[in-house]
Amino acid sequence: MERTYLMIKPDGVQRGLIGEIISRFEKKGFQLVGMKFLRLTKEMAEKHYAEHVGKPFFPGLVEYIISGPVVAMCWEGKDVVSVSREMMGATNPAKAAPGTIRGAYAVDIGRNIIHGSDSPASAERELSIYFNAGELVEWDRSL
Ligand code: CMP
């Protein structure tokens, strides 16, 4: 089954949106298989956003993502990488459709509430930053 890495960013945590965001993915039918509440180190942030090194917004992005706690999650389900990105909406919340998470709760590209892996390969890379294999739980929702 496909897996993705989703992270509620410091703005999502500070604005009290943890429950709302988790609820959307649960109700959609995806399965939570790993979750941590943590504050990223600078090293973790630089590893996570390695592809953005050198871009003008990179220093601000790292400073922001380490400024407070985040919720790091692994979700599993059919096409979860692409479907969860649809549910999140466009990276720039100003362009995100109203029913999406960013469309409903954000206006600023630098404060866009949630991160989601953009491909299965990115998901694998990002999950390895936050979770050991043994920390992802296998469970049967039908029981
Ligand atoms: P995310 O999906 O976490 O991946 C990279 C992040 O960089 C993105 O969300 C935004 O929060 C941030 N980002 C991308 N482009 C810009 C930009 N032009 N200005 C500020 N932040 C940006």
Is this prediction's pTM over 0.95? yes
Convert the pLDDT of each residue in 6-16 to its tens digit: 999 999 999 99
Using CA atoms, how far residue 1 sits from 31, 33, 76, 122, in Å, is 10, 12, 7, 16
Per DSSP, the three-state class of 56 is coil
What ipTM was assigned to the predicted interfaces of this complex? 0.93
Q: Say yes or no: CB of residue 61 within 6 Å of ligand 1.
A: yes
> Which numeric CATH code is attached to 2-134?
3.30.70.141
- Domain ranges, ordered by start, for the chain: 2-134
Task: Please give the distance, rounded to the nearest whole angstrom, from the Cα atom of residue 134 to the centre of ligand 1.
Answer: 30
Averaged pLDDT, groups of 10, the chain, 143 residues long:
97 98 98 98 97 96 98 98 98 97 97 98 98 94 84
- Is 112 close to ligand 1, i.e. is its CB under 6 Å away? yes
Point out the residues that are catalytic. Answer: 115
